[in-house]
Structure 1
């Protein structure tokens, strides 16, 4: 088994565009939905997702910030992330993480009414990479 550090995990996560973001719904069940991270996974474990401010995912996070992310790479790489989420409603932060591909969803760019961004700060990541597996605690 090869021990990986957070930097190595984050670099491999950058190659995966979509994650399954799971939250705790209003009734206590687990709710999952695919989200694009726009390949922005910082070396400190933070990842960012754009969404609508009035979406269920925003309500879920405001009630319970504990979330999980699941990533699957093309090369047999998997990672499960536990973290704390927060909702960001700051246009300057939107612009810092904006990507032109997002305009397919949010046509007015960072000026789109009702735009919100989810920041997930990882607290633990468990990875599988072929026969290698391990855990990184943050």
Structure 2
């Protein structure tokens, strides 16, 4: 197993828009859903996603803040095959409009017509604890818990 720096993994993540965000439901099952990072990809171990407070995902995170994110790039886009990333981390529910504004992109207007003033808008801030990656036959990890 190899070790890459967070900066090296982040460089490979720049063009990945969609992550599968997984939470643990109140009944103990794992629920996953696709989430867009909205081009907020200056990756330093933090990911940001917008949703509505009424979603089941928000209820799941309020009960248990442990989450996972899965990112992938199809084989052929990088030499040596696909690139896959599994992130484990903790999610925080953010309700501060100033923080929303710092991460808002115009593409979000299609989903949230009133922008950062959309009633019930919540931002998920996922802080990575551990990252595992696979790139062709290479695999490795980055531990951010230290």
Normalising by the residue count of structure 1, what TM-score does the alignment of the two structures yield? 0.95
Structure with bigger gyration radius: 2
Cα offset for 1:13? 1.8
Question: Does residue 1:84 correspond to 2:90, yes or no?
Answer: yes
Cα offset for 1:131? 1.5
Normalising by the residue count of structure 2, what TM-score does the alignment of the two structures yield? 0.90
Structure 1 unmatched runs, 5+: none
1:93-126 Cα deviation digits (max 9, x unpaired): 0000001001110011111111000000000000
Cα offset for 1:59? 0.5
1:52-94 Cα deviation digits (max 9, x unpaired): 0111111100100000000011331100000000000000000
**Which residue of structure 1 lines up, in the alignment, with residue 15 of structure 2?**
15
Aligned partners of 1:11 and 1:41 also within 8 Å: no
Cα offset for 1:21? 0.1
Aligned residue pair count? 138
How large is the RMSD of aligned CA atoms in angstroms? 1.2
Runs of 4+ with deviation above 3 angstroms: none
- d(CA) in 1 for partners of 2:2 and 2:26? 40
Structure 2 unmatched runs, 5+: none
